[in-house]
Amino acid sequence: MRLFACTAAVAFALVAVAAPGRPPANLLVNGSFEEGPEEIGEYRSLDKGSDEIKGWKVTRGQIDLIGTFWAAADGKRSLDLHGSPGYGGVEQTFKTKTGAKYKVELQLAATPGAGERSIWVEAAGDKKKFEADAKDGTREKLNWVKVEWEFTATGTETTLEIYTTEKGDNFQGPAIDDVRVTEK
């Protein structure tokens, strides 16, 4: 009987250790762009300075908030960083701890038929370029890929900006969704 009790206790301890923890909290508001203008249909173009997407501000040119035009990576909405037309970007400022490390994760794709597209992700005076290829992606199934980058905060607030690097076709751009920032 004693051996059974010990075995059960060890098994319980192993299960408790193996159970996954909660994922770290996203420091960004509305990372999947779900909160914003109510009815957007296929898409809605937003110009530089717009803050219609909760938590986000358009920083450059124009972007398209995508509704039903293609399948989002997370939820029902995503962003095309090439507006209709325009070369755009978005930013959000959030609380950080000076000297702490943070991880940025997001889903990236290229508009179907666009070929390769790229973005810059910038925070705390540093930046990283990412590329995506439309390949055989369709509106029903974009070739979403998860990209990650780390930065070290230089202050108690940090602004994350994501913007297109393209200068070619200003209608078919890089698409982003499910943007997350977590402390490491």
pLDDT digits (tens, 9 = 90+) for 49-84: 999 999 999 999 999 999 999 999 999 999 999 998
Per-residue b or e along 70-106, where b marks 16 or more CB atoms closer than 10 Å to that residue's CB: bbbbbeebbbbbbbeebbbbbbbebebeeeeebebeb
Q: Which residues pair with 35 in a beta bridge?
A: none
φ, ψ at 178 (rounded to 5°):
50, 55
pLDDT digits (tens, 9 = 90+) for 129-160: 999 999 889 999 999 999 999 999 999 999 99
> Measured between alpha carbons, how far is 85 from 34 in angstroms, rounded to an integer?
22
Polymer length of the chain? 184
pTM score:
0.87
- Return the pLDDT at 14: 47
- Mean pLDDT, range 109-114, rounded to an integer: 91
CATH code for the part of the protein at 23-183: 2.60.120.260
